[in-house]
C-alpha cells in the first residue's frame, strides 16, 4: 500500500526536478547585451596616463574578449533557430526538404562563426577590426535574410495545426447546423457561408506561403518578405473565420 | 564410558561461535523469494500502471491546462460551441499573428487583427469594438517569450534598468568595433 502511494509521488517529484533543472540551465545563459564591454573599451581608448604599448595591449585584450562574446552569442542565436527548426513536424516531403535546406544554411553560418572565433587568437588591433567588419557583413548580407526566412518557416509550420482545427470546427459547425435544420435561418446560413469563405482564403494563402518556401529551396533563393506576406494574410483570414464562429455562437444562443 | 554418560555429554555441546555468526549473516542476507502466482503478477502490473497514471495526472494538473472535472463530467457541451475552446484556439491564432507582425516592423503599422479586441472581452460577449493596432508595447507575455527565442525581440539587459535605446546587441557592438 505504501509503495502504491510513494511511487507516483516519487515519479512526479523526479519529473518536476528534471523540469526545474532545465529551467535553471535556461536561466543561466549569458545575456547578449554588450553595453558594459563597449563602455570598458571606450575607457581603455581614452586612457592617457599609461604608456602607448600597454594601452594598445589592454585595448586589444578587451576587443578580443568582446569579439569572442559577440561570436558566442551569434552562434547561440543560429543554434537556437536550428533547434527550433528541427523540432517541427512536417507531413510532406517538399516542405521537409525546405526545412533541411534552411538547417544546412544555418549550419554553414555556425561553421563560419567557428572559423572567425579561432582567427581571433592571432589578430592584432587592425585585424580585429577587420574580423568585426567581416562578421557584420556576413550577417547583413547572409544571415539576416536566412534568419527571417527560418522564422517565417517556423511560424508557418506552427500554423498548420491551427488551420486543421479551424477546418474541423467548420465541418462540425456545418454538421450541427444541418442536423438541427438551423440552416433554414437566413442569418445562420449567411454566417456559415462567410466562415467558409474566410477559411478558404486562409488555406489558399497558407498554400501560397508553402509554395514560396519550396520554390526558394529549389532555386537556392530567399524571399522572406513574400512568404511573410502570405503568412500574415492567411492568419488574418483565419482570425476572421474565428470572428465569424463567435458571431455564429452568439446567434445560436439566441 | 557408558552410553548414558555419552548422551549426557552431548547435551552440553555448543556450536562454534564464529560459525554461528557467519551462517546467521548468510541467512539474513539471502533475499526472500516471493512466490509468483498469476494473481500476484496481475496485481504488480496494475500497481505499476496506476503509479504511472497517477504521476502523469499530477504532472498535468501541476502544469495546468487540464481539468479533470471537465473530462469526467458526462454530457459536456460540444467543443464546437464551447466558448473556452473557441477562445483558446483564437488565442493561439492571435499569438501567431503577433509573432508574424514582430518579424518585420514596417508592415504592422495600421494593420489590424480582428481577434485582438475580441480576446480582451469576457467569453460571453461577442460584439466587436474598433480593432486596435498591434505594437511591440502591447504584446502578450507568451508572445514575448517565443519572440525572444526566435530572436525577434531583444534579450533583456543584464541589469534590467538599462533603457532599451541604450542596449547594444550583436550588430550594434560589431559596428562599434570596426569604427
Cβ pair A146, A218 in contact under 8 A: no
Q: What is the pLDDT of residue B34?
A: 64
DSSP state at residue A251: H
Q: Which domain holds residue B65?
A: 38-72
**B91 lies in the same domain as B174:** yes
Give the contacts of A183 (CB within 8 A, at least 6 positions apart): A177, A189, A192
Residues in B touching A223 (Cβ below 8 Å): none
Residues in B touching A245 (Cβ below 8 Å): 86
Selection from A162, A191, A169, A174 nearest residue A251 by Cα: A191
**B151 lies in the same domain as B174:** yes
**B130 lies in the same domain as B64:** no
**B62 lies in the same domain as B93:** no
Residues in A touching B51 (Cβ below 8 Å): 4, 7-8, 11
**B126 lies in the same domain as B164:** yes
The reply to whether residue B51 touches residue A11, judged by beta carbons under 8 angstroms, is: yes
Mean pLDDT (whole number) for B60-86: 54
Q: What is the pLDDT of residue A178?
A: 75
Model ipTM over 0.95 = no
What pTM was computed for the model? Answer: 0.68
The reply to whether residue A35 touches residue B168, judged by beta carbons under 8 angstroms, is: yes
Residues in A touching B169 (Cβ below 8 Å): 32-34
**B90 lies in the same domain as B171:** yes
Radius of gyration in angstroms for the set of CA atoms belonging to chain B, rounded to a whole number? 37
Radius of gyration in angstroms for the set of CA atoms belonging to chain A, rounded to a whole number? 27
**B67 lies in the same domain as B88:** no
**B106 lies in the same domain as B45:** no
pLDDT in tens, chain A (254 residues): 455 556 555 555 555 555 554 444 444 456 788 888 888 888 877 765 566 788 888 889 999 999 999 999 999 999 999 999 999 988 899 999 999 999 999 999 999 999 999 999 999 989 999 999 999 999 999 999 999 999 999 999 999 999 999 999 999 888 877 776 665 677 888 899 999 999 999 999 999 999 999 999 999 888 899 999 999 999 999 999 999 999 988 887 76
For residue B173, give the nearest of A7, A66, A159 by CB distance. A66
**B126 lies in the same domain as B54:** no
Q: What is the distance between the alpha carbons of residues A234 and A239, in angstroms, rounded to a whole number?
A: 9
List the single residue in A with minimal CA-CA distance to B43. Answer: A4
Selection from B176, B135, B96, B66 nearest residue A133 by Cα: B176
**B52 lies in the same domain as B105:** no
Q: Is B33 exposed, middle or buried (0-12, 13-18, 19+ CB in 10 A)?
A: exposed
Q: What is the pLDDT of residue B107?
A: 39
List the single residue in A with minimal CA-CA distance to B82. Answer: A249
Residue B102 domain-assigned? yes
**B87 lies in the same domain as B138:** yes
3-state secondary structure chain B: CCHHHHHHHHCCCCCCHHHHHHHHHHHHHCCCCCCCCHHHHHHHHHHHHHHHHHHHHHHHHHHCCCCHHHHHCCCCCCCCCCHHHHHHHHHHHHHHHHHHHHHCCHHHCCCECHHHHHHCCCCCCCCCCCCCECCHHHCCHHHHHHHHHCCCCCCCCCCCCCCHHHCCCHHHHHHHHHC
Residue B21 domain-assigned? no
Q: What is the distance between the alpha carbons of residues A243 and A134, in angstroms, rounded to a whole number?
A: 49
**B47 lies in the same domain as B90:** no
Number of independent structural domains in chain B: 2
CB proximity under 8 Å: A 174-213 to B:
176
Cα B133 to its chain centre, rounded Å, is 34
Decide which of B48, B72, B96 is a domain's last residue.
Answer: B72
User: What cell was used for A9?
Assistant: 509521488
Q: Residue A1, SS3?
A: coil
Amino acid at each position: 500500500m505504501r509503495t502504491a502511494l510513494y511511487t507516483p509521488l516519487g515519479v512526479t517529484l523526479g519529473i518536476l526536478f528534471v523540469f526545474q533543472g532545465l529551467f535553471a540551465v535556461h536561466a543561466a545563459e549569458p545575456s547578449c547585451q554588450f553595453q558594459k564591454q563597449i563602455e570598458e573599451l571606450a575607457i581603455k581608448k581614452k586612457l592617457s596616463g599609461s604608456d602607448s604599448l600597454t594601452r594598445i595591449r589592454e585595448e586589444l585584450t578587451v576587443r578580443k574578449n568582446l569579439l569572442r562574446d559577440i561570436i558566442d552569442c551569434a552562434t547561440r542565436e543560429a543554434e537556437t533557430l536550428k533547434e527550433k527548426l528541427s523540432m517541427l513536424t512536417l507531413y510532406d516531403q517538399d516542405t521537409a526538404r525546405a526545412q533541411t535546406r534552411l538547417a544546412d544554411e544555418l549550419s554553414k553560418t555556425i561553421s563560419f562563426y567557428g572559423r572567425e572565433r579561432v582567427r581571433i587568437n592571432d589578430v592584432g588591433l587592425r585585424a580585429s577590426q577587420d574580423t568585426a567588419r567581416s562578421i557584420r557583413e556576413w550577417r547583413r548580407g547572409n544571415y539576416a535574410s536566412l534568419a527571417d526566412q527560418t522564422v517565417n518557416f517556423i511560424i508557418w509550420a506552427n500554423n498548420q495545426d491551427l488551420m486543421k482545427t479551424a477546418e474541423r470546427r467548420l465541418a462540425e459547425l456545418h454538421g450541427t447546423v444541418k442536423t438541427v435544420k438551423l440552416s433554414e435561418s437566413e442569418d445562420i446560413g449567411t454566417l456559415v457561408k462567410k466562415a467558409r469563405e474566410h477559411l478558404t482564403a486562409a488555406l489558399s494563402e497558407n498554400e501560397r506561403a508553402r509554395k514560396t518556401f519550396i520554390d526558394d529551396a529549389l532555386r537556392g533563393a530567399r524571399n522572406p518578405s513574400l512568404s511573410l506576406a502570405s503568412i500574415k494574410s492567411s492568419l488574418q483570414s483565419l482570425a476572421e473565420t474565428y470572428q465569424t464562429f463567435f458571431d455564429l455562437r452568439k446567434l445560436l444562443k439566441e | 564410558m557408558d552410553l548414558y554418560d555419552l548422551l549426557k555429554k552431548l547435551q552440553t555441546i555448543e556450536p562454534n561461535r564464529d560459525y554461528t555468526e557467519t551462517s546467521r549473516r548468510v541467512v539474513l542476507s539471502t533475499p526472500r523469494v516471493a512466490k509468483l502466482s498469476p494473481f500476484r503478477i496481475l496485481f504488480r502490473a496494475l500497481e505499476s500502471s496506476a503509479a504511472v497514471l497517477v504521476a502523469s495526472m499530477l504532472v498535468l494538473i501541476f502544469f495546468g491546462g487540464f481539468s479533470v472535472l471537465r473530462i469526467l463530467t458526462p454530457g459536456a457541451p460540444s467543443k464546437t460551441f464551447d466558448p473556452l475552446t473557441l477562445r483558446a484556439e483564437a488565442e493561439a491564432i492571435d499569438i501567431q499573428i503577433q509573432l508574424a507582425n514582430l518579424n518585420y516592423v514596417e508592415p504592422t503599422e495600421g494593420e489590424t487583427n480582428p481577434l485582438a479586441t475580441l480576446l480582451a472581452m469576457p467569453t460571453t460577449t461577442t460584439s466587436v469594438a474598433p480593432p486596435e493596432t498591434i505594437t511591440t508595447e502591447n504584446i502578450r507575455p507568451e508572445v514575448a517569450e517565443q519572440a525572444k527565442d526566435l530572436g525577434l525581440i531583444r534579450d533583456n539587459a543584464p541589469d534590467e534598468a538599462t533603457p532599451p535605446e541604450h542596449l547594444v546587441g550583436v550588430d550594434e557592438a560589431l559596428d562599434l568595433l570596426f569604427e
